[in-house]
Amino acid sequence: MDWKDIVEDVAPALASAFGTPAAGIAVKVLADSVLGSSTGNQATDETNLQTALSGGLTPDLQAKIIDAQSALKEQAFELQKSQLANDVAEYTSDAADRDSARKANVAGQQATRVFWFAVLIFLGVVGIEGGVLMLGLPKTGEPELMGRILGTLDSALMAAVFYIFGSSASSARKDELQANGSK
């Protein structure tokens, strides 16, 4: 009987890692438990495990395999805990960054200047686009150039609006998930 079949009978969660990117970790943990230590080479560890388990499954080996399964689950838990801690640190850093930017804007009265600049851009865009709508494009000049100028003004207005009102964190998360191909 193949050593992997023995492990699958005793510790299915451990055996489920075989054939996955975590197979090396699973073999190392199993070798540490059953053989006392791993060689660091997955192929050598697998050969040594085959030799150790070829004599049959003793209660002692069964207990070591179960211990290896527990150790693998513990490593997976620690990895998830570490990932969660990294996510919390990143979120905390982002929140602190936004908070300090808001405080800097308030302290320097930047928000008031930005607001009035956005109002000026808005009035300019509405005035120019309203004039084009009412009077039409100028007879002289390039219509493509006028379209480009109007498009640039629209972009400036949108940049000012996004700066003032910002974007939601959930929108940023949605964009990140779409970029990663998740649903």
31 DSSP assignment = H
Torsion of CA 25, 31, 37, 42, to 10 degrees: -60
pLDDT tens readout for residues 80-89: 999 999 999 9
Ranking 43-57, 89-103, 112-126, 138-152 by mean pLDDT, the lowest is 138-152
Residue 19 φ/ψ, nearest 5 degrees: 85, 5
Taking residues 37-46, what's their average pLDDT?
88
Q: Is the dihedral of CA 54, 55, 57, 58 positive or negative?
A: negative
pLDDT tier for residue 179 given thresholds of 50, 70 and 90: confident
Could you tell me if 24 and 42 are in contact, meaning their C-beta atoms sit under 8 angstroms apart? yes
Residue type (1 letter), 68: A
